[in-house]
Structure 1
């Protein structure tokens, strides 16, 4: 590099406005594709942007101005997130107070690269100390959202920027298209990534930038964790749900070295996306003791038929009614389930052998299943206005209703029938939740969270008056 001996290497945290003849070394943590525009002199110019970092505390935005397409294409092709670069003779200027189209950075300055006299090259030595910075989030961990917050928090609106921690559930293909009505427009690309965490099984992340789209080729479902700084919340009109989009302000840390990511990675390796598991995750966030609203069944039926309340993913309520169907004396294999601790397929309680041919525990008598049997109890609930059919009964509520699993399976058929009819003739107060349709559930689902027998006086006093048809 000509004149390199005259340069002063300065760390990002030590930069001062107006510094000249400096050399800055850092790892690229974000990069935007170059774009062209016509200058005032009529000549086409090219500009690209990147963000570099040289310590956990210091990172800065770099704007690169280039006079011709060859340089722009070379920059796009040869420099990527994760590369350690040397930037020589940039201008050191005060940054905008709140940059609208660039990542939030720690430095009060920005670097401006103009060719000439500025130059950029890859650092000639391996720098694991700098590349480890790719795993350090650029935003505080105190304020990141859960994926469930995006779906359910009414204060998070389309257009808001949020920070998220999510595991990769699926990496979609890259789709190419041209903007409608603009035949001269360049072909664009978009890619969708499905994320999940401990409380939500699905949130779509949209990638529009070349750099992130091609980095996603190396992302592995259930193995890689992303910390997303400043992704934008959008409304997907086709799916009728919220999604998030990586923009020019977004920085993505892959497999961040933080405790929260380690916990999520452990969970992700054994994640279960079956409908039953999704229901369990949703129900686990609801405390039945906080439910105050009392509804009759026709109101809840109207709710499920119309798709629920805008912005709500579940509807908890209290119902006074009767249990009108509960097949306790049916096939015990339909009432009690055991799932394989490797692949989560349902396996017979009697044999405890997995029948999934793709599972490493397939028909293995020596494999010790680490999961205990769980209730798969369902019932119909009725009042004077209608019936909620096929309601799932949460595990704790099922145990209170019919006893422990190991005791229930030993009951005679006559005892099971007697137990069933004992509950049929008694008015009850039921705490339940309607889980409304979403990206993973095509239909609504009703879950009984708790129950208590009530007197006829309580039943009459607290049951809502049916609506007039």
Structure 2
């Protein structure tokens, strides 16, 4: 397991921030331990980017500390060790092991769950227990049915966020949603092959999704994934998923539905900009997104800037924005010998305004931007003019419908 880098106010140096991330290491079937790194942003980010989940590493000169169980295991994986490791920028180092240096016994641990392989819930058990499991943290064994594209958004306080939905299945349930909110887990799930991958997920959080009226799973900082576990239970599930895929039993939804994590036709709640801002503040810190409809116009669309600021190259495999200098996806190319192709897409920030206020810096990108502006991205000298013309010809909302909705006749 591995978490994203986060910054916190430095109590000793008012006005500055300290950065941290954590990961979990294992060197035997029975023992694994959490590692934390704190320090300057440059150091912590560089260290985090130097390795990924599944890499074998050598850690030099860590500080060994006794962990405070209640505090430590609230946000970190539960480990059998009474200790944790701290990495210091001054004294510690993490080095990636070359392939020929790695003991094969270590590699076998990648396919051995960190929990009892028989201590898990089936998806059917979760559905059957329903809301009695709401908020519980449990282990799950399931097959990967589909992996959605990462979705990117900007919060009301202009923080960048991301979300990715994975559909799971097993012998008892044909489709079950698992949500990822952090970059590390999103990058990991993008490497999974749908209908060919079984996972053992330890310490997943289970929630009742009021919007969908069903149970879902959420990846949290405590979660550790074991991909294709080498256990009898996982082998049985793997054979089941292969047979089901061969007979077409899993082909019960279309590709368009696989790509969309929410049915847009079910979104009926109407908000003004002011109401949506209040709703966002009320839901701050909660993992569930807010869905709704607003009647507004695009008040700011800066297409007179440099094209490099409104167009991004994305990886065809994981849809992440690729490195601008090398024009390659660092994640996919690190995990496969085949270089992934890239495609260009819009990456716009727009302001939406109605009679109550303005939503600033709303992200409009990829296919949604093309559909909104009714144009496909083609790099040419007339790109910006073409965008402006298409914007002026966009289909407007029905004034009568908008007026009725905003006056209270629509659903609030």
TM interval, short-chain normalised: 0.5 to 0.7
Provide, for residues 367-426 of structure 1, a one-character-per-residue CA deviation record: whole Å limited to 9, x for no partner.
Answer: xxxxxxxxxxxxxxxxxxxxxxxxxxxxxxxxxxxxxxxxxxxxxxxxxxxxxxxxxxxx
Tell me if the contact between 2:77 and 2:221 (Cα under 8 Å) persists in the aligned partners: yes
| Unpaired stretches in structure 2, ≥5 consecutive residues | 253-412
CA drift at 1:131: 2.1
- Among 43, 50, 53, which residue is 2:26 paired with? 53
Which residue pairs with 2:308 in the alignment? none
Which residue pairs with 1:206 in the alignment? 179
Mapping of residues 188-267 of structure 1, within 5 Å: 188-267=161-240
- Higher helix fraction (1 or 2): 2
- Among 146, 152, 156, which residue is 2:122 paired with? 146
**Runs (4+) off by over 6 Å:** none
Higher radius of gyration, 1 or 2: 1
Which residue pairs with 2:298 in the alignment? none
Q: Distance in 2 between matches of 1:245 and 1:154?
A: 15
Provide, for residues 117-164 of structure 1, a one-character-per-residue CA deviation record: whole Å limited to 9, x for no partner.
Answer: 122211242333212211110111333101011111147421101111
Q: Distance in 1 between matches of 2:208 and 2:231?
A: 30
Which residue pairs with 2:3 in the alignment? 32
Counterpart secondary structure, 2:102: coil
- Among 48, 54, 66, which residue is 1:82 paired with? 54
- Among 113, 134, 157, which residue is 1:182 paired with? 157
Tell me if the contact between 1:84 and 1:127 (Cα under 8 Å) persists in the aligned partners: no
Relative distance call for 1:265 and 1:65 in structure 2 (3 A) is: same
Tell me if the contact between 1:235 and 1:243 (Cα under 8 Å) persists in the aligned partners: yes
Q: Distance in 2 between matches of 1:162 and 1:44?
A: 34
Counterpart secondary structure, 1:142: coil
Which residue pairs with 1:105 in the alignment? 79
Q: Distance in 1 between matches of 2:85 and 2:9?
A: 22
Relative distance call for 1:156 and 1:258 in structure 2 (3 A) is: farther
Relative distance call for 1:243 and 1:154 in structure 2 (3 A) is: closer
| Unpaired stretches in structure 1, ≥5 consecutive residues | 1-29, 276-469
Q: Distance in 2 between matches of 1:232 and 1:138?
A: 17
Tell me if the contact between 2:56 and 2:97 (Cα under 8 Å) persists in the aligned partners: yes
CA drift at 1:75: 2.0
Which residue pairs with 1:463 in the alignment? none
Tell me if the contact between 2:164 and 2:180 (Cα under 8 Å) persists in the aligned partners: yes
CA drift at 1:76: 2.7
Q: Distance in 1 between matches of 2:196 and 2:242?
A: 6
CA drift at 1:194: 0.3
- The count of corresponding residues between Structure 1 and Structure 2 is 243
Q: 1:115 aligned to 2:92? A: no
Q: Distance in 2 between matches of 1:128 and 1:176?
A: 38
Relative distance call for 1:274 and 1:117 in structure 2 (3 A) is: closer
Mapping of residues 339-418 of structure 1, within 5 Å: none
Which residue pairs with 1:388 in the alignment? none
Tell me if the contact between 2:165 and 2:180 (Cα under 8 Å) persists in the aligned partners: yes
Tell me if the contact between 1:190 and 1:208 (Cα under 8 Å) persists in the aligned partners: yes
Tell me if the contact between 2:130 and 2:208 (Cα under 8 Å) persists in the aligned partners: no
- Among 67, 85, 108, which residue is 1:95 paired with? 67
